[in-house]
Chain A
């Protein structure tokens, strides 16, 4: 079983992408959970969301304390949220930042694998402005999930609420995020 913890700020869509990741991995035939951590809900406040992904039925219903993967959607949370807390030493830290991997490593003092991508820039260039989707692309790459399955699910989900034009921009952002992480570690 893989456990993932997402760090974002209210309004950045951490919960949404954790939900979409669950749908993607279900399509792959996995068992999944996605759940947010509820505190006072307000825009801009730090929020956490979680995934569990397993080949077996998932029975556990507690919080996630020792994730295999931590995803930081908002760089400012690196300092305020201590996102590597509980992360397995051989786990993977995926950060949205314009800094280099070495700089993040020094900042966080984390010895495991680190994937850095400038998701904010990717999102801006794709015309969406939301870094959560490129970060989802990076997680899909790290998990070794079939990107075609992922893209299909993402497209279907987003099409319920967004125009085809905006969906296409999101898919572009997703692909760019996937490519950025794929070059680093594929398949975790």
Chain B
């Protein structure tokens, strides 16, 4: 059914349909309306979830870890500083292989204090061991929240999954979202079968033990194996979901008019939508431009993205977060995937920090800028200098 809803509402709807056992959230700023909607569902008796309002995001993630280890299906949501405070425990959740799903309303990290969109929060959690997916629209946020559940809980993966959606641009903007019926969603996510739940007191297990130099390294390598299992699971879940929803999710990224493109933009999140409009306009003028929109950022689909970009003339990689003292993280991901291989001219564009708007004209400028790009340039778009 098609409805007008904000990205926040779309995520809350997905959560209502999944109806996890536990939702642990810090109920105050920088929390999102996601928690507010969900608390209402719980209060109204629409869902049977145990809502755990805690005193900080550090505690929120800690409660998620405890509940997930106990054997519960767990979802949480946060944004910017909230994620920063969660990160310490997010590493632990990943190392304990706990399939916690998180909606992350992408907002800038302080300072200066700012409540608007950029990807610095997601970038902070880049190496945490959580799977990270980026949504272009409220529709994609809804869809990926459902798919995330299956990816996180797959026996070969068992890792936290973060679904990123741009703060304000998607979270507070009302758009048309087509939801599935509750029955279809329930059937798709299925019943959760926990691994070695702590509450299985007849079969006691140890969680989160000490690991000294004799084992720590092997455990981390095993965690990497969980990440390595993601791509196959991701594609499988996408395929199943596409059939169910009638929407086309195929691959780690969306290739938009990419095949014969000479100049290409690579971007994550809502800016991809604006970039599509520009690609269409420039194509009408005969310019061979295209877009690669990254859905799956961690684990990073190095080979597939490199294959898709090989043979292009020039590629602008757009990072909505700054990596002080180096190029943007997405730029490094992609250029390193070309190590030992002939590649296009790559330029890094830092854009949209702290909610700086990204109108179509900026995207046009990026495509224009690719005509005379020097390899390895770091540029800023939308910045007053």
- A residues lining the B interface (CB < 8 Å): 19, 22-23, 26, 31-36, 38, 58-63, 65
Q: Are A61 and B271 in contact (CB-based, < 8 A)?
A: yes
Does the CB pair B174–A35 fall under 8 Å? yes
Closest B residue to A58 by beta carbon equals B175
The docked-state distance in angstroms from the alpha carbon of A60 to that of B3 is 19
User: Are A62 and B358 in contact (CB-based, < 8 A)?
Assistant: yes
With A22-B4, A62-B357, A63-B357 known as contacts, the answer to whether A35 contacts B172 (CB < 8 A) is: yes
The answer to whether B276 and A22 have CB atoms under 8 Å apart is no
CB nearest to A31 among chain B residues:
B176
**What residue in chain A is nearest B269 (Cβ atoms)?**
A61
One of B163-171, B195-203, B331-339 contacting the partner: B163-171
Shortest CB distance A188–B (Å): 21
Of residues A22, A34, A35, A58, which shows the largest number of chain B Cβ atoms within 10 Å of its Cβ?
A: A35
**Do A32 and B174 form a contact, CB below 8 Å, given A22-B4, A61-B274, A62-B360?**
yes
Tell me the complex Cα distance, A31–B178, Å.
12
B172 pairs with A60, CB closer than 8 A: no
Q: Is there contact, CB below 8 Å, between A33 and B175?
A: yes
When A32-B4, A59-B277, A61-B273 are in contact, do A22 and B357 touch as well, CB less than 8 Å?
no
A66 to B370, CA, bound (A): 27
Of all A-B residue pairs in the complex, the 10 with the closest CB atoms, nearest first, are: A35-B173, A61-B270, A34-B174, A59-B273, A62-B359, A61-B273, A22-B4, A63-B357, A59-B276, A23-B4
Fill in one digit per residue for B358-369: 1 if any A CB lies within 8 Å of its CB, else 0. 111000000000
B175 and A32 contacting across the interface, CB-CB below 8 Å: yes
With A26-B4, A38-B115 given, is the CB distance from A61 to B170 under 8 Å? yes
Q: By the criterion CB–CB under 8 Å, are A19 and B271 in contact? A: no
Query: Is the beta-carbon distance between B360 and A36 smaller than 8 angstroms?
Result: no
Task: List 23 interface pairs A-B (beta carbons < 8 Å), by A numbering.
Answer: A19-B4, A22-B174, A26-B3, A26-B176, A32-B174, A32-B175, A33-B173, A34-B174, A35-B169, A35-B172, A36-B172, A58-B175, A59-B274, A60-B273, A60-B277, A61-B137, A61-B170, A61-B270, A61-B271, A61-B273, A62-B357, A62-B358, A63-B357
Q: Give bound CA distance, A19 to B176, whole Å.
A: 11
- B51 to chain A minimum Cβ distance, whole angstroms, is 23
* CB nearest neighbor in B for A29: B2
Are A33 and B270 closer than 8 Å at their CB atoms?
no
Binding site for A on B (CB under 8 A): 2-4, 115-116, 136-137, 166, 168-170, 172-176, 270-271, 273-274, 276-277, 357-360
Q: Report whether A65 and B273 are in contact in the complex, using a CB–CB cutoff of 8 Å.
A: no
Q: By the criterion CB–CB under 8 Å, are A63 and B359 in contact?
A: yes
Q: Which residues of A contact B273 (CB under 8 A)?
A: 59-61
Quick one: which of A19, A38, A58, A61 has the most chain B CB within 10 A? A61
Residues on A with beta carbons closer than 8 Å to the beta carbon of B137:
61
Instruction: State the CA gap A62–B3 with chains docked (Å).
Output: 21
Residue from B174, B359, B360 having most chain A Cβ neighbours under 10 A: B174
| Most central of A23, A34, A38, A60 by chain B CB within 10 Å | A60
Give the complex CA separation of A60 and B281 in angstroms: 12
Given A61-B273, A65-B359; A38-B2 close (CB under 8 Å): no
> A60 touching B173 by the CB < 8 A rule?
no
Query: Separation in Å of the A139 CB from the closest CB of chain B?
Result: 16
11 further A-B contacts with Cβ under 8 Å, apart from A38-B115, A61-B273, are A26-B2, A32-B174, A32-B176, A33-B173, A34-B4, A35-B174, A59-B277, A61-B136, A61-B137, A61-B274, A62-B357
Closest to B169 in A: A61
**What A residues does B176 contact at CB under 8 A?**
26, 31-32
CA distance A34 to B273 in the complex (A): 16
CA distance A26 to B136 in the complex (A): 20
Does B166 contact A60, Cβ atoms closer than 8 Å?
no
